[in-house]
Amino acid sequence: MAASDNQSSKSDNAAFELANFTPYRTAVVAQLLSEALAREYRDRFGISIPDWRVLVHLSAENGASVRDIEQKVVMEKSKISRAASRLVTRGLIARTKNETDGRLIHLSLTDQGWAMMGELLPLATAFQKRIDTILGAGSEAYESGLTRLWQELETSRDFDQD
Amino acid sequence: MAASDNQSSKSDNAAFELANFTPYRTAVVAQLLSEALAREYRDRFGISIPDWRVLVHLSAENGASVRDIEQKVVMEKSKISRAASRLVTRGLIARTKNETDGRLIHLSLTDQGWAMMGELLPLATAFQKRIDTILGAGSEAYESGLTRLWQELETSRDFDQD
DNA sequence: ATCAAATCGTTGCATTTGCATCGATGTATA
DNA sequence: TATACATCGATGCAAATGCAACGATTTGAT
């Protein structure tokens, strides 16, 4: 027991297993889900994950500002701004000025954008069904875990960033 | 009902809610977990998430090759290689040649690396405890959901990539 | 033994990302 | 009203990333 501290830590640390570490496990599953999903709609529609999130949000809210999306979708505003630029170039969404507040920019799907979402969303729904099948009876428990973590971590995050 | 298809899709899509989409929800929670964790060990130890994963894997396996880490940790090998370079520069890990197979490179923690992990791992353990507290009784159900998704998606991923 | 194919780790390169900053607009205070 | 401050979205820039090579080494087939 006269060994140095860094040697003693070598044995202590054996208790820690990355495979049981929830942040790591969640990150891997999130990545696998993203990859599986992205493979479908990137190959068929040429859109990235940021693109996808913006499009879905706009289809759900029927239009929103960059700030709206940023708050709801947990993405950097620069990422959203650039995704919006790509989508505008492709004619999928439109930028219009907000009348009451000149700082805000109203993003909304064009007819072409709606048409694409008409193909895209059923694909997402089918993917969700597949996930539910995988999770089986544990589906609700898994979702409730996500909800708890989200709520708790988001409040502590906002707190830290003040 | 004589409206065009893209208009009809506008109402159909109202059923889809990003907030209920498991890939999205999982991605956000993973990001929040990463941010919360990274804030602790980036500020205190100056290491990134790829650095962290490499270090933890090396502490668990007591040394490994890039290929080993790649398979176990679901990270690109170039990402691992660059993380390793950073960690070597900082004196936290060492690169040694594998005797039996000259292609493999054996990565292992230096004494200094072990010393850092001696501080780092308790921090991770505490974080895991906090997560378990948040999840409460639903902890096991959440973890089992992660396990199922991981298993299923990884096999289908390998399948697709052939 | 020889030569082709596979594996491992690194690196070049184009793209993406995060952060800080900027200009433009709106709000609040004196 | 005049002036300081806050907010919104875009952009410059450095760093990180993913992918496709590449050289070095090993394996397998003939």
Inform me whether the C-beta atom of residue B34 falls under 8 Å from chain A C-beta atoms. yes
DSSP B64: B
Question: Cβ contact (<8 Å) for A39 and B131?
Answer: no
Neighboring chain B residues of A61 at a CB cutoff of 8 Å: none
pLDDT tens, A117-136?
999 999 999 999 999 999 99
Share of chain B above pLDDT 70, in %: 88
Name the token pair of A109.
């799907």
Tell whether the model's pLDDT for residue A6 goes beyond 70: no
Residue B31 and residue A74 in contact, taking contact as beta carbons nearer than 8 Å:
yes
Rounded Cα distance between B144 and B152, Å, is: 12
Question: Cβ contact (<8 Å) for A125 and B26?
Answer: no
Tell whether the model's pLDDT for residue B110 goes beyond 90: yes
The whole model's pTM is what? 0.87
pLDDT at A12: 53
Tell whether the model's pLDDT for residue A30 goes beyond 90: yes
Question: Cβ contact (<8 Å) for A145 and B150?
Answer: no
Residue B87 and residue B54 in contact, taking contact as beta carbons nearer than 8 Å:
yes
pLDDT at A43: 84
Beta pairing, strands B105-109 & A93-97:
unpaired
Q: How far apart are the first and last CA of chain A?
A: 46
Of B145, B149, B153, the CB nearest to A141: B145
**What average pLDDT does the segment A45-73 reach?**
93
**What average pLDDT does the segment B21-28 reach?**
94
**What average pLDDT does the segment A49-58 reach?**
95
CA–CA min distance A35, chain B (Å): 8
Tell whether the model's pLDDT for residue A139 goes beyond 60: yes
**What average pLDDT does the segment A50-56 reach?**
95
The closest alpha carbon to B120, from B52, B62, B64, belongs to: B52
Beta pairing, strands B105-109 & B93-97:
antiparallel
User: Higher pLDDT residue, B118 or A11?
Assistant: B118
pLDDT tens, B38-80?
888 888 899 999 999 999 999 998 899 999 999 988 899 999 9
Tell whether the model's pLDDT for residue A104 goes beyond 60: yes
Please state the φ and ψ torsions of residue B94, each to the nearest 5 degrees: -125, 145
**What average pLDDT does the segment B94-111 reach?**
95
The closest alpha carbon to B83, from B70, B71, B72, belongs to: B70
**Looking at A65-74, A149-158, B135-144, which range is the least confident one?**
A149-158
- Check if residue A148 sits with its Cβ under 7 angstroms from strand D: no
pLDDT at B9: 44
Round to a whole number and report the distance in Å from the CA of B93 to the C1' of C18.
27
Inform me whether the C-beta atom of residue A56 falls under 8 Å from chain B C-beta atoms. yes
Rounded Cα distance between A50 and A45, Å, is: 13
pLDDT band at B6 (very low <50, low <70, confident <90, very high): very low
The DSSP code sequence of A39-96 is HHHHHHH---HHHHHHHHHHHHHTSB-HHHHHHHHT--HHHHHHHHHHHHHTTSEEEE
Nucleotide nearest to B66 (CA to C1'): C9
pLDDT at A13: 47
Chain D bases near protein Cβ (<7 Å): 7-12, 16-20, 23-27
Chain C bases near protein Cβ (<7 Å): 7-12, 16-20, 23-27
Question: Cβ contact (<8 Å) for B31 and A74?
Answer: yes
**What average pLDDT does the segment B101-126 reach?**
95
